[in-house]
Amino acid sequence: MKVSVLIPTYNRLTALIATLTALTAQDFSGFEVIVADQSDNFTGNNGVIQTLQRIFDLHKTPLKLVQNLPKKGIAHQRQFLLDQSTGEYSLYLDDDIILEPDVIGRMVKALDEENAAFVGMMPIGLSYSKDIRAHQQQIEFWEDKVQPETIQPKTTEWQRHVVHNAANIMHVAQQLNIQPENQKKYKIAWVGGCILYDTEKLRENGGFTFWEQLPEEHCGEEVYIQQKLMKKYGGFGLLPSGGYHLELPTTLVNREVNAPEFLRD
């Protein structure tokens, strides 16, 4: 299997249905979908989800829905999913993201071209489509091969993350006329929502096993692992984005424990 699409979900049935429906229309073949469910009512029992299961079966795309209870935090969820992955690449996809049909194919192509550990495609919040924030749209592109980087808090490089606010990345792509056929790789501090990891590199560097060192309520788990992977292999973002955020309230309400700060050496 080339790609395992890994989706953690919690009490977001409608959003999950939208996310899975978009995945049935992917141009790319050779992927599986694994949903780790921590909802109060198991989503696998829902009739619409079962219909989607049949569509995936029709397309010969495995869809597996598994319960992961009791809840032990989002890092544990991600490690649970990684343990299920059979793909060369593992695409962590939030349960409220709609993907254009070419997204998986474009991300695989980009990561195949590099020795990096991951590529991210930041989802766009379309409610901000007319909110032009020129002061947040600075971006650096990789003109040559992606290289390892050490990104420290409170540095200029750390501020790269602001280009992921609102709909900034959509505006940058539009202004520079970056199209899927001439997609470009750019430098990041981190990226969330839709990240394609090299599964072997992720596992060799411990994956999300650091969940055992965190309290159940935490955030920043992907920032932590991405910083680790970028230091060793490099990671990058991809424009244009073909992901759209449903802009639902976060299910990680308590953000007092931030993994990069809590686990700082």
Complete domains list, the chain, with CATH = 3-263 (3.90.550.10)
What DSSP letter does each residue of the chain carry, written as one string?
Answer: --EEEEEEESS-HHHHHHHHHHHTT-S--SEEEEEEE--SS-GGG-HHHHHHHHHHHHTT--EEEEE--S---HHHHHHHHHHH--SSEEEEE-TTEEE-TTHHHHHHHHHHTS--SEEE-PPB-GGGTT---GGG----B-SSS-------TTSTGGGGGGGGSTTHHHHHHHHTT--GGG-EEE--S---SEEEEEHHHHHHTTTTGGGGGS-SS-B-HHHHHHHHHHHHT-EEEEES--EEE--PPPS----S-BHHHHT--
The mean per-residue pLDDT over the stretch 13-28 comes to 98
pLDDT digits (tens, 9 = 90+) for 73-107: 999 999 999 999 999 999 999 999 999 999 999 99
- Beta carbons within 8 Å of 259's beta carbon, 6+ residues apart: 75, 210, 214, 218, 219, 220, 221, 223, 224
Do you know the residue count of the chain? 265
Residue 23 forms beta bridges with which residues? none
pLDDT digits (tens, 9 = 90+) for 159-190: 999 999 999 999 999 999 999 999 999 999 99
pLDDT digits (tens, 9 = 90+) for 202-219: 999 999 999 999 999 998
Going 178 to 180 to 182 to 184, the CA torsion angle's sign is positive
Per-residue pLDDT for 140 more than 60?
Answer: yes
- Beta carbons within 8 Å of 180's beta carbon, 6+ residues apart: 102, 106, 240, 242
Residue 238 forms beta bridges with which residues? 185
Which of 84, 78, 124, 129 minimizes the C-alpha distance to 252?
A: 78
* % residues pLDDT > 70 (the chain): 100
Q: How confident is the model at residue 152 (pLDDT cuts 50, 70, 90)?
A: confident
User: What is the pLDDT of the chain when averaged over all its residues?
Assistant: 95
